């Protein structure tokens, strides 16, 4: 059994929520449960990618602290990521316990908020823990409070172990009737990168410099390594044969084969339903620059791999617009042509 703890507070020393979840984690480990804690404030720049960590857990704790109003931005951002990118089928079988401590007013509202959010996501909420605590020392000095926390942890373990089911709720019924949320085209990693680049004015200039450096590198090697017998025209012919016209796409793709300079640079200019395939880089800045080894390129044109799969597996590197990269498999569907 595995239980993940997602802590949405600020990580201050006297945060009562930290004491509660540490106490619960100790109980879980005594029950031979694997416990992994994610501090959202430490991963605030990559919270969307944490949505994928939920599916490996049997149960989760959503823990936060109400310091003035609500459960805080980190936890809300994490719930947004689960709604957009989470595996809803996996979430449907995951139990969740809300843990909300308050140093002001609103701990019960916070616990209700987390339970309702998990219901709408399709998961299984369990009884949570909430309380108004001015100082963490209050919890440490009161054995009755500690016993209550440990009892809650044991009950949560029991719910997961016995796979207790709950009655249907209206939140699921309303969601099924009126939810119109669109699934985004981008992955969490792509969204993170785009959000960073959108606010970085120097990114475009840096990108152009990188492309120019790559162009000069391959241009200097074009006449020096021809002994391998690689013919770029063979690959260009395969791209021409596989091309599926699209009037909506206008882009310049540049493919560099890192381990075979003799192949030069393969350039694919898509515009107005036509495609021009040439060897060697032009002076124009490419919309997408791809770097891969000859073996990966052979797998792609041989219909054994797609561009998307090569990128996600780390076998291929790219710079440029992610949406245009995703369109490559539609423009050149080698697998469908076989």
CA 149 to chain centre: 33
First-to-final CA distance of the chain: 45
- Residue 201: predicted pLDDT: 61
Q: Which two tokens stand for residue 11?
A: 């990580």
Element spanning 210, H or E: helix 202-221
Give the largest Cα separation in the chain, rounded: 80
Task: Mark 214-249 as b/e (b = at least 16 C-beta within 10 Å).
Answer: bbeebeeebeeeeeeebebeebbebbeebbeeeeeb
Global pTM value? 0.55
**206-226 confidence digits (pLDDT tens):** 777 777 777 766 666 554 444
Q: Which residues of the chain have pLDDT under 50?
A: 223-229
d(CA 50, CA 38) in angstroms, rounded, equals 9
| Domains detected in the chain | 2-178 (3.40.50.360), 200-337 (3.30.1050.10)
- Residue 279: predicted pLDDT: 86
Residue 141, burial from CB neighbour count under 10 angstroms (0-12, 13-18, 19+): exposed
d(CA 63, CA 71) in angstroms, rounded, equals 9
């Amino acid at each position: 059994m595995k239980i993940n703890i997602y802590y949405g507070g600020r990580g201050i020393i006297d945060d009562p929520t930290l004491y509660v979840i540490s106490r619960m984690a100790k109980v879980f480990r005594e029950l031979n449960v694997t416990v992994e804690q994610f501090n959202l404030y430490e991963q605030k720049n990559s919270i969307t990618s944490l949505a994928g960590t939920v599916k490996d857990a049997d149960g989760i704790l959503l823990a936060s602290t109400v310091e003035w109003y609500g459960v805080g931005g980190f936890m809300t951002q994490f719930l947004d990521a689960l709604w957009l990118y989470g595996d809803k089928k996996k979430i449907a079988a995951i139990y969740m316990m809300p843990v909300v401590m308050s140093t002001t007013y609103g701990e019960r509202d916070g616990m209700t908020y987390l339970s309702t959010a998990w219901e709408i996501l399709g998961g299984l909420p369990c009884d949570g823990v909430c309380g108004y605590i001015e100082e963490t020392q209050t919890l440490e000095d009161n054995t009755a409070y500690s016993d209550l926390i440990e009892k809650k942890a044991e009950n949560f373990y029991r719910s997961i172990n016995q796979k207790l089911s709950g009655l249907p709720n209206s939140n699921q019924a309303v969601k099924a009737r009126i939810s119109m949320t669109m699934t985004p085209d981008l992955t969490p990693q792509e969204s993170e990168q785009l959000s960073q680049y959108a606010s970085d004015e120097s990114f475009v200039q840096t990108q152009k410099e990188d492309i120019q450096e790559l162009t000069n590198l391959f241009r200097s090697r074009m006449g020096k390594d021809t002994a391998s017998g690689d013919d770029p025209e063979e690959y260009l012919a395969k791209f021409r044969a596989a091309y599926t016209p699209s009037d909506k796409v206008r882009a310049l793709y540049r493919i560099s084969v890192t381990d075979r300079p003799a192949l030069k640079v393969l350039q694919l200019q898509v515009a107005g339903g036509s495609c021009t395939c040439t060897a060697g880089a032009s002076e124009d800045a490419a919309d997408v620059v791809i770097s891969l080894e000859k073996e990966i390129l052979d797998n792609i044109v041989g219909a054994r791999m797609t561009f998307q799969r090569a990128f996600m597996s780390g076998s291929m590197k790219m710079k440029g617009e992610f949406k245009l990269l995703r369109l490559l498999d539609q423009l050149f569907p080698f697998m469908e042509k076989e």
